Amino acid sequence: METRTIGPLEVSAVGLGCNNFGGRIDEAATASVVHAALDAGITLFDTADVYGKGLSEEYLGKALRGRRDEAVIATKFGIEMPGGSGASPEWIEQAVADSLRRLGVDHIDLYQLHAPDDDTPVEATIAALDGLVTAGAVRAVGCSNVTAEWLDATLGISAERDLSGWVTVQNHYSLLHREPEGDGVLDACARHGLGMLPYFPLASGMLTGKYRAGETPPEHTRLGAIPAERASKFMNDEAFATVERLQRFSDRHGRSLLELAFGYLLSRPEVASVIAGATRPEQIEANVAAGGWRLTEEEMAEVALLAAG
């Protein structure tokens, strides 16, 4: 497994998104997926306090017992939980203590702000997170759902005050959602040396080839388990047309659509790891196998045109 460096952390190029834990799969199934990931060389496990209302962290922590030193644990805070939300110093203190308890660990490798908090001065948030790094409760900090302008401003504050700055950015990014390429976020990552961690990298399964235009999604799938109105954000005529173009490109190169979904993202130097979710060990095997393709500059340019329509 290829590894990449983000701040003080070394992570696998293919990571595991843990948002299914405590929701779509139970504790036993979580353990099977986590152990399969470790055995396959995956080291980055990305969760959040809000996933499964705390169960994702709890199940992940139990699954990692005895193998904690093989894992880089990334979790997030800020979305509403029982007792609070946001990014105030007071809530950060409570949220990190709760996450450490649920995970059953003495430190979190990557602690991420799930979304900016407009009600808290960002200087206070940055100072509180720096305090966690200094205390050893957290090794590095990251952010999610942010703009390039926000990154420039907040990293300027960190540098000016000699405080811990973000080492990662987790935004929505896939071949069907390429906004980070045009909104300046990837440029900001390159400018500041940050690692991009794309979420929804497989577009909720649209880039795996499991869905077909005009067909109802299977019940056991992510898009089959949510209301049709929500699923339509991913399953629509434009998305299916794009997938068809990308599939033809993959076929010409003797690759799968899944390989293209991973390969395109991992061929971007700003991307540190692709954190795809999984509910079964077989999906782990497929994701890891798909993570080996690196596209040439010419291929990247052609795929970008195909994705744009």
- The residues carrying an active-site annotation are 51
Cβ neighbours of residue 121 closer than 8 Å, sequence gap 6 or more: none
Helix, strand, or coil (residue 154): helix
- How many other C-beta atoms can be found within 10 angstroms of the C-beta atom of residue 289? 15
Helix, strand, or coil (residue 112): strand
How far apart are alpha carbons 175 and 308 in whole angstroms? 9
Please, how many CA atoms are within 13 Å of residue 16, restricted to the half-sphere of its CB?
33
* DSSP run (H or E) holding 191: helix 185-192
DSSP string of 213-247, one letter each residue: TTSPPPTTSTTTSS-HHHHTTTSSHHHHHHHHHHH
- Please state, in angstroms and as integers, the Cα–Cα distance from residue 93 to each residue in 57, 129, 135, 186, 188, following that order: 17, 9, 12, 30, 29
